Amino acid sequence: MRPAERTVRAGPTARAPAVRVGLTALVLAVFAYGLAALLPAYWVFLAMSAVISGVLLQSLGVIAGQAGMVSLCQAAFAAIGAWSTAQLSLWGVPGGLYVWLPLAGLAAVPFGLLIGLPALRLRGVHLAIVTLGFAATVDVVLAAASFPGVDLGLSVGRPAGLSSERQYFLFCAGVFVLVAVALAVVRRTRWGAAWRALRESERATAAAGTSVPGAKLSAFAVSSFVAGLSGALLAGQLGMLLARNFDPGQSLTAYAVAVMAGAHHAEGALIGGALGVLVAELLRRLGIPQQWANVVFAVGAIQAFTQGAGISDALRAVLRRRARVRPVAPVPPVERAAPPAVTGTALRIAGLSVRYGQVAAVRDVSLEVRAGGLHGLVGPNGAGKSSLVDAVTGFTPSTGVVELAGHDLDGRRAHLRARAGLRRTFQQDRVPTGLTAGEYLRFAARRPLTAAEPAEALGDLVGVDPGRMVADLDVGTRRLLEVAGALLSRPVLAVLDEPAAGLGHAETERLGRWLRAAPGRYGCAVLLIEHDLDLVRAVCERVSVMDFGRVIAEGPPAEVFADPRVLRAYLGEEVTA
C-alpha cells in the first residue's frame, strides 16, 4: 500500500460513520435503561408501545424513505409476524420470544416478495392501491380466522427474564437498537445505496449496473422482515391479539407518521413512535376522539412532502449547516499501473434505427468509437442524439447492431450492458441526493476502489469533501460527480450526455482536462454528446454530427465543423463560400 493511500484510509472520514452508529446505539441503550428505571409502570407501557411502533416505522423507512416506494400494508406484515408468534407459542416451540422473533420476521418475507412483484411494474398511486388491497385482504382473513390460541383463551407467553413490563420494555428497546444498527450497516452497502438511487431514478440505477427489480424486491424483503419483528413484539406485549390491532387504517397512519418523522433514520423512527403514543395520550386526556390523531399526522405528512424532508431530515440539515465545511485541495494523480485497455473498436453501431410509432427518431445510423478514443457526437436539438444514446445503452427498443468490444449487446437489458462496461450519464440531474459524495462514487464505480481513487476524483474534478451530502451540492457539481462515478468504473465506453451543461468556464476547463486524461487513467473510450463545441474541439479526436436522425458528417473536429452540411444544420440556411 502506498503512503498516500494509507493516509486517506486512516482519516476521520472513513471512521466517522461507524463511530456515529456506535455512539447512537450506546445513547439509545442508556436512555432506554433510564426510562425503565425512572418511569411509572403506565408510562413504561406507553414507552414500550412507542418503541414497537418505532420498529414498524423503521420498516417503512426502508421501503418508503430509502427506496421511495409507497407501501400501505406494513401493518399486514406485522400481523403475519404476530400470527406466526402466536402459532409458535401454541405449538410450544422452545426458546420463547428469543427464537420466535426472528422466525416471525422470516415468515413475513415471502409475503413481502409477493407484494414486491407488482412494484416491478407499478409506481405511485397504483402501487399504493395494490398494497392497501393486500392489507384489506389480510384484515378480512384475520377477522374470519382470528389468531391462534384466542379461541382457547391462551396468550403469548414471555420467557424467563422478560416477565415484567420493565424487562420487556428493555428487550423491545434492544430489538429497536439492533434493527437500527443493522439497517445503518446495510445503508453503507451497495444494497442501501441502490435503494436510495432507486428513489431518485430507476434509469440512473440501471445505468450504474444495478438490477432495478432486484433492488425493489430486496427492499420489500427487508421491510417485511422488520415489520414482522414489530408484530412479534406486539404479540409479546399484549399476549392476546385481535384483528383490529392490524386493520388497514393502521398502515395508513404508519405511512403518514413515517413520512412526517423521516423514519429512514433511526432517530426519525423513534420520534415517530413517540409522537404516535403521545398524541393519542394527549387526545385521550383532553377527551377528544382518537381519530383526530390521524388528521394531525396527515397534516404533518403533507408538510413533509411539501418541504421534501421529515423531522429527522430537518434536524440533520441543521447539524450539517453548523458543521464546518472543509475545502478540498486538488489531489495529484496517484502513480498506478495502467489499467488493461481494450484494443480495436470499443463501440460499433451498424444500421441502428429507433421509431416512436410512425416517427423515426434515428434512421440507419452507423458509428464506431475506437478503444481508448475520445469521440464527439453533436447536432442541433431534435437531431436524435438522446434517442441514439438510449438505444445503445438499452433503455429504448431499436433495430440494428450494437457491439461493445466485439460483443453483441442485442437483447441485454440496461443494467447488464452497464455491467459489461457500457456506462452513461444523463442530461437531467439523476445523482441520488440521499448519498454522500464518497458513497455515490463507490456505488457508481461498482468495483473495489482504493482510498486514493475517490479522493483523487473528489479533489481534482469535483472539489468536495467525500462526506458532503449530494443534496447539498449544486447541479453543476452533481454533474461532475456523475462523470467521475462513470469513469471510476473503468468501463469499456463511457457515454457522457451533455456533462458541461450548467458549468462555469473554470469547471468546463477542469472537466476537459479530466476527460483528456481518462483513456490513459481508466483504460476507457469516451463518447461525448455536447452542445459546447469549444469543449468538443479541445477534447475529441473525432466528431460525428447528427441531423434529423442521421449522421451527416464524421471526421476530425476541424474538418467536420467546416463542412457546409454541418454549418447548414446549425445555422438553418445555405452557406456560400
Q: Residue 112's pLDDT band (boundaries 50, 70, 90)?
A: very high
Q: How many CB atoms lie within 10 A of CB 16?
A: 11
355 and 479, same structural domain? yes
pLDDT at residue 215, rounded to an integer:
93
pLDDT digits (tens, 9 = 90+) for 21-39: 566 666 766 767 777 667 7
Residue 469 backbone dihedrals phi, psi, to 5 degrees: -70, 140
Domain end call among 214, 246, 278: 246
pLDDT digits (tens, 9 = 90+) for 432-454: 888 888 889 999 998 888 888 88
Q: Which residues form the domain of 161?
A: 11-246
Q: Are 198 and 208 in contact (CB under 8 A)?
A: no
* Beta strands at 407-408 and 399-404: parallel, antiparallel or unpaired: antiparallel
From the DSSP assignment, how many helices (H) and strands (E) are in the chain? 23, 10
pLDDT digits (tens, 9 = 90+) for 500-516: 888 888 888 888 988 99
Q: Residue 416's pLDDT band (boundaries 50, 70, 90)?
A: very high
Q: Based on the structure, what is the number of domains in the chain?
A: 2
pLDDT at residue 1, rounded to an integer:
34
pLDDT at residue 24, rounded to an integer:
64
Q: Residue 306's pLDDT band (boundaries 50, 70, 90)?
A: confident
Domain end call among 222, 246, 270: 246
CB-count burial class (<10 Å; 0-12, 13-18, 19+) for 281: middle
Q: Where are the beta strands (DSSP E) in 488-541?
A: 493-497, 525-529
91 and 227, same structural domain? yes
Inside any domain, residue 16: yes
Q: Residue 17's pLDDT band (boundaries 50, 70, 90)?
A: low
**Among 111-125, 246-260, 326-340, which stretch is predicted with the lowest mean pLDDT?**
326-340
pLDDT at residue 394, rounded to an integer:
92
Inside any domain, residue 164: yes
Between CA 374 and CA 286 the distance in angstroms is 71
Inside any domain, residue 327: no
Inside any domain, residue 300: no
pLDDT at residue 335, rounded to an integer:
47
392 and 539, same structural domain? yes
**Among 128-142, 406-420, 448-462, which stretch is predicted with the lowest mean pLDDT?**
448-462
Inside any domain, residue 159: yes
DSSP letters spanning 242-310:
-GGGG-HHHHHHHHHHHHHHTTTSHHHHHHHHHHHHHHHHHHHHHT--TTHHHHHHHHHHHHHHHHT--
Sheet strands side by side (includes 493-497)? 422-424, 493-497, 525-529, 374-378, 542-547, 550-555
Average pLDDT of span 273-299: 88
Inside any domain, residue 293: no
pLDDT at residue 210, rounded to an integer:
92
pLDDT at residue 390, rounded to an integer:
92
pLDDT at residue 22, rounded to an integer:
63
Of 437, 17, 65, 413, nearest to 205 by C-alpha is 413
Domain end call among 246, 261, 276: 246
Average pLDDT of span 2-11: 36
Between CA 148 and CA 106 the distance in angstroms is 18
Please check the confidence at residue 225 and state whether its pLDDT lies above 70.
yes
The continuous run of DSSP H or E covering 348 comes out as strand 345-356
Average pLDDT of span 143-169: 85
**Residue 555 zone, left/alpha/beta (φ > 0; ψ -120 to 50; rest):** left
DSSP letters spanning 182-222:
HHHHHHTSHHHHHHHHHHH-HHHHHHTT--HHHHHHHHHHH
pLDDT at residue 18, rounded to an integer:
55
Please check the confidence at residue 332 and state whether its pLDDT lies above 60.
no
Please check the confidence at residue 221 and state whether its pLDDT lies above 90.
yes
Q: Residue 343's pLDDT band (boundaries 50, 70, 90)?
A: low
355 and 223, same structural domain? no
Helix, strand, coil tally for the chain in percent (to 5):
60, 10, 30
473 and 357, same structural domain? yes
pLDDT at residue 376, rounded to an integer:
93
Share of the chain above pLDDT 70, in %: 89
179 and 57, same structural domain? yes
The grid coordinates of residue 124 equal 405511485
* Sequence-ordered list of residues with C-beta below 8 angstroms from that of 233, at least 6 positions apart, any chain: 52, 55, 101, 172, 175
Q: Are 372 and 542 in contact (CB under 8 A)?
A: no
Inside any domain, residue 264: no
Q: Residue 149's pLDDT band (boundaries 50, 70, 90)?
A: confident
Of 25, 464, 63, nearest to 227 by C-alpha is 63
Q: Are 528 and 496 in contact (CB under 8 A)?
A: yes
Of 390, 494, 371, nearest to 444 by C-alpha is 494
226 and 77, same structural domain? yes
Classified as helix, coil or strand, 9 is: helix
Of 52, 79, 101, nearest to 237 by C-alpha is 52
Inside any domain, residue 234: yes
Q: Tell me the Cα Rg of the chain.
A: 28
pLDDT at residue 383, rounded to an integer:
87
* Sequence-ordered list of residues with C-beta below 8 angstroms from that of 45, at least 6 positions apart, any chain: 165, 169
pLDDT at residue 143, rounded to an integer:
87
The grid coordinates of residue 433 equal 441526493
**Among 312-326, 458-472, 548-562, which stretch is predicted with the lowest mean pLDDT?**
312-326
pLDDT at residue 577, rounded to an integer:
46
Q: Residue 421's pLDDT band (boundaries 50, 70, 90)?
A: very high
Please check the confidence at residue 254 and state whether its pLDDT lies above 50.
yes
481 and 349, same structural domain? yes
165 and 51, same structural domain? yes
Share of the chain above pLDDT 90, in %: 44
pLDDT at residue 12, rounded to an integer:
40
Q: Residue 140's pLDDT band (boundaries 50, 70, 90)?
A: very high
Between CA 234 and CA 236 the distance in angstroms is 5
368 and 225, same structural domain? no
Q: How many CB atoms lie within 10 A of CB 295?
A: 10
76 and 207, same structural domain? yes
526 and 381, same structural domain? yes
CATH of the domain at 525: 3.40.50.300
Question: What is the four-CA torsion angle of 50, 52, 56, 62, rounded to 10 degrees?
Answer: 90
Please check the confidence at residue 561 and state whether its pLDDT lies above 90.
no
pLDDT digits (tens, 9 = 90+) for 182-210: 999 998 888 899 999 998 889 999 999 99
